[in-house]
Amino acid sequence: MPAQPTRRKIESAIFERIGADGERRGLEIYFKDAGGKHRRRAVDAGLTDARDALAHARTRRVKHEREPSDPRITFDAVADQFEAAHVATLRLSSQQAYGAALKRLRAAFGPKRITAIKKIDVRNFVAAERAEGLKANSITLHLNVLGTLYSFAREDLDIPVTVPRLRRSERPDPTEDAREHRILTDDEIARVLGSLEGPEWLFFRALAETGAREGEVLGLAVRRIGASEITFAEQLGRDGKLAPLKTSNSQRTIEATRSLAAELRLAGGQGFVFWQLSHTGIRRAWSEALRAAKLPGPQPVIHDLRHTHVSGLIADGWDPVEVAASIGDTLATTLKTYAHEFDARRRSEQRRAALETRYRAQDGYRMATDTSPQTGADGAKIQQMQAHRSTVR
């Protein structure tokens, strides 16, 4: 029979488990449940987490709450309940994101007891995803879903667990994925649009002239279009159904050229303007247009039309509040995303103002030699240069 681990007391009701070979096997709390029964429970975390787990156990006893019936529940079993009770209530795009994350988390942790998953397991999970080439944003999303699942296990299932949190230095940094906005010139936009025709041409023209998101334009109804304004009130989801906009700030009415508004109304008939297009179709059309346009690299993505539109607004003198209202973002997000452009315009205006102040009294520029008396050989040479200049004129 294998030797049982021994326990070394750390503080009241908290012990450290020591294996027969002297290996440290983590912490353990000792408490009474609501029925007066003595219990021990392993805590796969540090001393602070052990204290929290002990406090929760004692709170459950005071409230006469039963202990979890199955403390050895697996990650897969918790994930099943998490998907049924939480994920199923989310909007479709969020369900898809959670589903993709849970698929990877199940592959890594599925058969393990959720109380037995340690930081080293999460570190290995991150390392495997990095080795696979996943971007920092994707790995961060998976870790966030893991944290949400642990919160569900603790708060909804009464399982005394704490998510194994990695240090900041161990977590991927989303700034690693930062991609510089590809601002298209007027000529480049004309070349891309010139490679398109029909509804695809009008769709990308609308993106370029409004800075709207692709789902917002795909879900644009004819009744939302005025003589020179457009109202965005819903968007087309990837399931082909209308859905609420991204945020409350996204609902907005913006100015549009009369030409664009007329084209949109004419194309839509009585229903939606782009009823015949889909997310997949417009991405295919964009790829084909870029191949035909032969733009210099890096190649722009569809969202760069939004960045190009905003850069134009900033260049035209729009302030951050006006820009945020026009594109349906919060002021904070707009400032964060386009801070360098607002700052560059401010500095440019300051430099221009300084030049105006310095030179505003001058009508033009004349060589100092035209007004300063000169003598000797230098004077004679300058007079010859001035005479030659007069002859040329």
Taking only the tens place, the pLDDT of each residue in 145-194 is 999 999 999 888 878 788 888 888 888 887 666 667 889 999 999 999 99
As a whole number of angstroms, the distance between CA 226 and CA 233 comes to 14
For tokens 């990308």, the residue is 204
Report the amino acid identity of residue 142: H
Quick one: which H or E segment has residue 11?
strand 6-11
216 with 206: CB under 8 angstroms?
no
Q: Quote the tokens at residue 184.
A: 């298209």
Position 369 pLDDT exceeds 50: no
Ramachandran angles phi, psi of 44, nearest 5°: -90, 60
Ramachandran angles phi, psi of 108, nearest 5°: -85, -40
Q: How many CB atoms are located within 10 Å of the residue 180 CB?
A: 7
Determine which of 80-84, 113-117, 229-233, 336-340 has the lowest per-residue pLDDT on average: 336-340
DSSP, collapsed to helix, strand or coil, labels residue 234 as: coil
According to the model, what pLDDT value does residue 391 have?
Answer: 47
For all residues of the chain together, what is the average pLDDT?
85
Ramachandran angles phi, psi of 253, nearest 5°: -120, 125
List of residues 6+ apart from 315 with CB closer than 8 A: 345
As a whole number of angstroms, the distance between CA 349 and CA 347 comes to 5
According to the model, what pLDDT value does residue 393 have?
Answer: 42
Q: At what angle do helices 304-315 and 198-210 cross, to 10 degrees?
A: 40
Ramachandran angles phi, psi of 382, nearest 5°: -65, -40
Which has more confidence, 340 or 231? Answer: 231
Position 211 pLDDT exceeds 80: yes
Which has more confidence, 137 or 68? Answer: 137
The sheet that has 38-43: what strands, in order across it? 6-11, 14-18, 24-32, 38-43
Task: Give the torsion through C-alpha atoms of 22, 23, 24, 29, to 10 deg.
Answer: -70
What string of H, E and C letters represents the secondary structure of 111-127? Answer: CCEHHHCCHHHHHHHHH
Q: 57-64 — which CB contacts under 8 Å span 24+ positions?
A: 57/29, 57/31, 57/33, 57/160, 58/31, 60/33, 60/34, 60/158, 61/31, 61/32, 61/33, 61/34, 63/34, 64/34
As a whole number of angstroms, the distance between CA 216 and CA 20 comes to 64
According to the model, what pLDDT value does residue 377 have?
Answer: 53
Which has more confidence, 194 or 34? Answer: 194
Model confidence over 316-357: pLDDT tens digits?
A: 889 999 999 999 999 988 888 888 888 888 788 788 788 788
> What are the chain's domains?
6-62 (no CATH), 75-177 (1.10.150), 186-307 (1.10.443.10)
pTM of the model: 0.56
Which has more confidence, 377 or 306? Answer: 306
Position 380 pLDDT exceeds 60: no
As a whole number of angstroms, the distance between CA 343 and CA 332 comes to 15
As a whole number of angstroms, the distance between CA 220 and CA 347 comes to 38
Q: At what angle do helices 119-131 and 136-155 cross, to 10 degrees?
A: 150
For tokens 């294998």, the residue is 2
Position 392 pLDDT exceeds 70: no
* Side-chain-side CA neighbours of residue 223 (13 Å): 4
Q: Quote the tokens at residue 272.
A: 């939606």
Model confidence over 240-258: pLDDT tens digits?
A: 888 888 788 899 999 999 9
Determine which of 5-19, 115-129, 274-288, 289-303 has the lowest per-residue pLDDT on average: 5-19
